[in-house]
Amino acid sequence: MISFLLRRTGLMIVILFLVSVIVFALVNVLPGDPALLILGQEATDESLRALRAEMGLDQPLVVQYFVWVGDLLQGDFGQSFRNNTEVSSLLIQKIPVTLQLTVMSFAVAILIAIPAGIISATRKGTLWDSSATVFALSGVSLPPFWLGILLIFIFAVTLGWFPPSGYVSLTENVGLSLWYMLLPAVALGVRLSAELTRMLRSSLLEVLESDFIRTGYAKGLLEKSVVFGHALRNSIIPVITVSGLQFATFLGGTVITEEIFNIPGLGQLLVQSILTRDFPVVQGAVMFMAFAVIFINFTIDIVYSILDPRIKLTGGSN
């Protein structure tokens, strides 16, 4: 167990290191001179050179990388080029917004997937099952931005039940905040729910064929208690694994969903900073997202190894 923990932690550190190299390399081949960006076109050569020296941009890339990582490890993400704010304070400001979207989308996904998966597995071959399968198939093919626009068109523009875009923070007004965030959460959650429905159906079908289920029926248990008390619990593990693996795709979805609904979260920050070449913010936001993905998969692996001692470390986090 301890060796598993150590190896898994080591693996996580290696992957994080490689992610930092990729992110650093990406941003440093971006065209454009940061000093010129900050000072504007009229800047003199001298002031440009002075600023480059101040920012460490005249150092070799390897040195710049280690300075950057060193700062990162101390929680210093650098400063935004655009408005001189700390990247870390920008991130702290935006993360709760994206977190709210994430939590609500997962809630939507689970609320759809669990009943849909149970119905289609226990009523295999019926109309219920085929409707759930068709839902899962079309849900997987619905890009969040298209579903988002469709939802805006139907529920905001035509019916007027929801605001077409915007954001109210939870601390300001809980009810209004949830109301604003519902359409985005559905737009993002449906795709995940489709994926989870598919997974839960096949996993549940497999479990329902095991001996202990037959025993349950044989001793006269109701279908309800067999399914909810025994089968569901045993079929949920692969579903959680899939949610972990889907988390990266999911975070990508938040980026575009935030753009569509004009939600001031991490994704919108990232898109804006990419479009305006605000490198420190791009680096910070991408690093944070990758860290979230790696950490979630790490946690899932660790929790499993505790729950199920048969699971051994065999590969990477993905």
Q: Which of 141, 215, 225, 299 binds another protein (CB under 8 A)?
A: 141
Size of the chain, expressed as the number of residues it contains: 318
Based on the shown chain and the rule CB under 8 A, indicate whether residue 249 belongs to the binding site for another protein.
yes
Based on the shown chain and the rule CB under 8 A, indicate whether residue 137 belongs to the binding site for another protein.
yes
Q: What is the biggest distance separating any 2 CA atoms in the chain, rounded to whole angstroms? A: 87
108 touches 276 (CB < 8 A): no
Question: What distance in Å separates the CA atoms of residue 57 and residue 67, rounded to the nearest whole number?
Answer: 11
Shortest spacing between CB 217 and another protein, in angstroms: 25
Q: How far is CA 33 from CA 37, 219, 280, 287, in A?
A: 6, 74, 13, 22
Based on the shown chain and the rule CB under 8 A, indicate whether residue 164 belongs to the binding site for another protein.
yes
Shortest spacing between CB 149 and another protein, in angstroms: 5
> Which residue(s) pair with 86 in the sheet?
79
x/- letters, 191..220, toward another protein (CB under 8 A): -----------x------------------
Question: What distance in Å separates the CA atoms of residue 39 and residue 51, rounded to the nearest whole number?
Answer: 9
Please choose, out of 68-76, 85-93, 95-103, 309-317, the segment that lies near another protein by the rule CB under 8 A.
Answer: 309-317
78 touches 68 (CB < 8 A): yes
Q: Which of 252, 302, 305, 313 binds another protein (CB under 8 A)?
A: 252
Residue matched to tokens 């702290």 = 92
Based on the shown chain and the rule CB under 8 A, indicate whether residue 241 belongs to the binding site for another protein.
no
Residue number with CB closer to another protein (35 or 287): 287
245 touches 317 (CB < 8 A): no
Q: Which of 99, 248, 302, 313 binds another protein (CB under 8 A)?
A: 248
Based on the shown chain and the rule CB under 8 A, indicate whether residue 138 belongs to the binding site for another protein.
yes
Please choose, out of 53-61, 145-153, 171-179, 233-241, the segment that lies near another protein by the rule CB under 8 A.
Answer: 145-153
Based on the shown chain and the rule CB under 8 A, indicate whether residue 13 belongs to the binding site for another protein.
no
85: DSSP letter: -
